């Protein structure tokens, strides 16, 4: 629902007067920009202090000098809110997510760029084994069954681990205010989608093996068989994706564990040094 000039003026006056409504007010970014201008006009250009908490897809803010009224800023269609969008504010304290979450496609492209050598080696080794071992329908059924079992077991353990760790991290206010917690949740979501996609493609590959024009072409031993190359390539892709889920979890979570531990140690060291320094001065 779009707020007109009269509605924005009434709401701005209510904020200045300290009025607290029963619920938060939801605005688009351009509406909030106009609201801010009206508040300045009503306070004779007195710049208000604004506390803004970014949640990636939304921004929750208040003008604590005037009111506890919560204002929620939502993005326009197909746009994401960034901290730079609030550069028109003169006195603002931004906390929470530093940038919008990375969608799955960008996550996938980033992983390919960063790990292209490792991914290429896994793909080529698995492809060579499948091509020269002369895969049969039974062997491929066994391989796909093992891939499905490995993927589902991994996903189950991963989700249990993620939920248990997220419960502990969610109570850390420092991680939330710095936007680190939001980045962790974004990574968890993308890794989960990648694992589910791997399982789905494995099911599809199992069905592909039993297509008549594929299964009939696997009976021979010719290296130039079209069916043999097709099924070897698709199975190698799935092998690569499955192994990458193992590697990406170790990469992300070992780095996360180190990051959290280092931040905690740094905070403790600074606190101890501050206490020691103040004791000396006294």
The single-letter DSSP state of residue 58 is -
Q: Do residues 155 and 195 make contact, with C-beta atoms less than 8 angstroms apart?
A: yes
Question: In which domain, by residue range, is 27 found?
Answer: 5-96
C-alpha 26/C-alpha 72 separation (Å) is 5
Same domain, 213 and 266: yes
d(CA 21, CA 14): 9
Residue by residue, pLDDT tens for the chain (282 residues) are 567 888 888 888 888 888 888 788 888 888 899 889 988 888 887 888 899 988 877 889 989 888 888 999 988 776 778 888 888 888 888 888 877 777 888 888 888 888 899 899 999 998 888 877 656 677 777 788 888 888 888 888 777 777 777 767 777 777 788 888 888 888 888 888 888 888 888 888 888 887 776 777 666 555 566 777 888 888 889 889 888 888 887 777 777 777 777 777 777 787 787 787 776 555
Q: How many CB atoms lie within 10 A of CB 85?
A: 16
Torsion angle of C-alpha atoms 237, 242, 246, 252, degrees rounded to 10: 60
User: Same structural domain for residues 119 and 215?
Assistant: yes
Beta bridge partners of 60: 53, 72
**Residues 67, 181: one domain?**
no
- Smallest CA-to-CA distance from 71 within 99, 31, 107 is with 31
Shared domain check, 76 and 183: no
- Determine the pLDDT at residue 281: 55
- Are the C-beta atoms of residues 173 and 96 closer than 8 Å to each other? no
Q: Find the farthest-apart pair of alpha carbons in the chain and give their distance in angstroms, rounded.
A: 88
- Same domain flag for 32 and 92: yes
For position 223, what pLDDT does the model report? 54
Distance separating alpha carbons of residues 194 and 244, to the nearest angstrom: 10
What's the burial of 267, exposed, middle or buried (CB within 10 Å: 0-12/13-18/19+)? exposed
Asked if 193 and 104 touch (Cβ cutoff 8 Å), the reply is yes
Joined tokens for residue 101: 């979450």
274 and 143 share one domain? yes
In the prediction, which pLDDT does 124 show? 92
8 Å CB contact between 177 and 95: yes
**β-sheet bridge partners, residue 73:** 27, 59
Measured CA to CA, the distance from residue 27 to residue 8 in angstroms comes to: 10
- Provide the whole-model pTM: 0.74
Q: Are the C-beta atoms of residues 170 and 181 closer than 8 Å to each other? A: yes
Measured between its terminal Cα atoms, the distance across the chain in Å is: 59
Answer with the one of 96, 129, 152 that is the final residue of a domain: 96
Instruction: Report pLDDT for 257.
Output: 77
Are 70 and 179 part of one and the same domain? no
* Same domain assignment for residues 72 and 154: no
CA distance 74 to 57: 7
CB 69 within 8 A of CB 20: yes
Last residue of a domain, one of 79, 96, 113: 96
Judge if 48 and 113 occupy the same domain.
no
Domain boundary among 66, 96, 126: 96
**In the chain, how many domains are there?**
2
Please give the pLDDT value at position 120.
Answer: 92
- The verdict on 233 and 180 lying in the same domain is yes
Residue 157 and residue 274 in one domain: yes
Structure tokens at 15: 């904020």
The answer to whether residues 81 and 174 belong to one domain is: no
State both tokens at 160: 């249990």
């Amino acid at each position: 629902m779009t707020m007109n000039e009269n509605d924005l003026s009434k709401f701005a006056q209510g904020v200045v007067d300290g009025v607290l409504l029963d619920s938060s007010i939801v605005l688009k970014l351009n509406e909030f920009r106009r609201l801010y201008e009206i508040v300045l006009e009503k306070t004779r250009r007195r710049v208000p202090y604004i506390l803004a908490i970014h949640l990636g897809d939304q921004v929750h803010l208040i003008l604590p000098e005037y009111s506890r009224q919560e204002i929620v800023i939502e993005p326009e269609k197909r746009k994401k809110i960034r901290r730079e969008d609030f550069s028109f504010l003169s006195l603002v304290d931004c906390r929470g997510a530093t940038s919008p979450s990375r969608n799955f496609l960008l996550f996938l492209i980033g992983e390919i760029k960063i790990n292209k050598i490792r991914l290429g080696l896994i793909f080529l080794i698995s492809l060579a084994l499948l091509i020269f071992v002369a895969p049969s329908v039974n062997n491929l059924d066994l391989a796909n069954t093992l891939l499905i079992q490995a993927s589902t077991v991994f996903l189950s353990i991963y989700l249990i681990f993620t939920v248990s760790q997220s419960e502990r991290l969610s109570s850390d206010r420092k991680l939330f205010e710095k936007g680190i917690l939001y980045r962790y949740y974004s990574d968890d979501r993308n890794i989960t989608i990648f694992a589910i996609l791997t399982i789905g493609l494995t099911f599809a590959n199992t069905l592909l093996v039993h297509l008549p024009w594929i299964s009939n072409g696997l009976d021979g031993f010719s290296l130039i068989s079209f069916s043999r190359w097709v099924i070897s390539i698709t199975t190698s892709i799935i092998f690569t994706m499955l192994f990458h889920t193992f590697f990406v979890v170790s990469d992300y979570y070992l780095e996360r564990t180190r990051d959290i531990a280092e931040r905690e140690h740094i905070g403790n060291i600074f606190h101890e040094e501050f206490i020691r320094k103040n004791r000396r001065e006294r």
